[in-house]
């Protein structure tokens, strides 16, 4: 996820909505009948492995000014059948898991992991090596030697993966290592170790949990670009060196007013899938200029439809995770001024028109030939 600061991710607030006309007269979704099936059910009928939503620990929301108990939120998240998978939004990141060198704390990540297990949800784990939301001690030292930093990376990956071993369907092993032009992002890891830090992270992860899928995860991979080509090159290089990489995560933090087309999404997904790795939309949201109105909610619906439909249509795309589902818990308003309403549920728990766009994309099923070619039958 792109961030301006740690506080940007932890400070969560609601997004105001303007009145608009739409599915039920105010631009919001029309509601779901008593016979409604959840998004995860539709996704599995369409041939995907899951449809999920990231979620955070109640403590982080409480610190951000929210009460920790949201019965309606919890009912939708865990009991409604809307989601079959989750990702801890923040709790497994370096800042929380190794706040002091060699001292590990899994409290935040365990809250979500335990809820996932109790409610029989698939768990995607996120993220082992990332330049952002690092514990301050990693970047505070300006004279790391290569051997020292190698040891730090191996020790961190080893301890975190061993703690969650057997719980994670997949791990985002390396997150956001590239710039938009396809060059490597400068970070403490790259500046000291160069490209080697990526290989080191994947080699270490592969030894620790052979059953977990190992992913490279990044944003702006949703349409062909120099960045998508750089990640394709990385995948091929790891494969040539016999270093296991199982998947590429397309974060899919999209913009309603400038969303990729369906064909652009499909081209990007195909570009990775043809390398023999699985692909997933890992952090999907579609932000818009607030306050929301009928026009930009329609654009948002199209944005969600395009992304989900592309995943359904392309062999190799296995699932979709939205980056939380409830607008007040979105990271967007605190990173992008004047933007928000990026998810599928408004503050009052009514659904966006985009919810119906997702259902439409899943119901249409896979077009053409292939293992999921059969059309959806309710």
Residues labelled as active-site residues: 176, 283
Say how many C-beta atoms besides its own lie within 10 A of residue 146's C-beta.
Answer: 12
Could you give the CA distance from residue 285 to residue 148 in angstroms, rounded to a whole number? 38
User: How far is the C-alpha of 157 from the C-alpha of 95, rounded, in Å?
Assistant: 13
Q: How far apart are CA 378 and CA 42, in angstroms?
A: 9
Residue 102 region by backbone torsions, left for phi larger than 0, else alpha for psi between -120 and 50, else beta: left
Answer for the pair 289, 278: CB distance below 8 angstroms, yes or no.
Answer: no
The helix-helix angle for 226-240 and 262-273 (nearest 10°) equals: 20
Beta bridge partners of 321: 52
112 closest CA partner among 99, 94, 125: 125
Task: Enter the tokens of residue 168.
Answer: 């994670």
Closest to 260 measured CA to CA, from 305, 229, 226, 218: 305
Rg (C-alpha) for the chain, rounded Å, is: 20
- Give alpha helix (H) positions in 89-145: 94-97, 107-118, 136-140
Q: Return d(Cα 328, Cα 334) in angstroms, integer.
A: 11
Q: How far apart are CA 218 and CA 357, in angstroms?
A: 24
């Amino acid at each position: 996820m792109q961030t301006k600061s740690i506080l940007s991710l932890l400070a969560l607030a609601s997004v105001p909505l303007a009145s608009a006309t739409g599915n039920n007269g105010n631009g919001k979704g029309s509601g779901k009948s008593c016979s409604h099936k959840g998004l995860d059910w539709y996704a599995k009928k369409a041939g995907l492995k899951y449809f999920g939503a990231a979620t955070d620990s109640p403590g982080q929301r409480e610190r951000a000014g929210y009460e920790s108990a949201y019965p309606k939120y919890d009912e939708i998240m865990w009991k409604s059948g809307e989601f079959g998978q989750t990702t801890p939004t923040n709790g497994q990141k370096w800042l929380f898991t190794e706040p002091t060198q060699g001292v590990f704390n899994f409290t935040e990540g365990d809250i979500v992991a335990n809820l996932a297990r109790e409610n029989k949800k698939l768990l995607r784990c996120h993220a082992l090596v990332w330049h952002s939301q690092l514990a301050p001690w990693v970047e505070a030292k300006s004279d790391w030697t290569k051997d020292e930093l190698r040891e730090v990376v191996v020790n961190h990956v080893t301890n975190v993966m061993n703690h969650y071993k057997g719980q994670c369907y997949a791990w985002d092993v390396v997150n956001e290592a590239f710039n938009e032009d396809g060059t490597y992002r400068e970070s403490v890891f790259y500046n000291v170790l160069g490209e080697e830090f990526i290989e080191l992270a994947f080699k270490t992860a592969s030894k620790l949990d052979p059953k977990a899928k190992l992913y490279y995860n990044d944003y702006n991979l949703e349409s062909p670009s120099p960045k998508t080509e750089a990640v394709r090159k990385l995948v091929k290089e790891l494969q040539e060196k016999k270093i296991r990489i199982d998947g590429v995560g397309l974060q899919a933090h999209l913009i309603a007013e400038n969303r990729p087309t369906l064909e652009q999404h499909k081209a990007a997904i195909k570009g990775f899938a043809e390398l023999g790795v699985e692909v997933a939309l890992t952090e999907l949201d579609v932000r818009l200029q607030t306050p929301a109105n009928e026009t930009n909610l329609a654009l948002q619906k199209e944005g969600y439809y395009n992304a989900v439909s592309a995943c359904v249509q392309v062999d190799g795309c296995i699932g979709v995770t939205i980056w939380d589902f409830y607008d007040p818990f979105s990271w967007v308003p605190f990173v992008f001024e004047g933007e928000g309403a990026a998810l599928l549920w408004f503050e009052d728990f009514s659904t966006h028109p985009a919810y119906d766009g997702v259902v439409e994309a899943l119901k249409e099923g896979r077009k053409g030939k292939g293992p999921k070619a059969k059309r959806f039958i309710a």
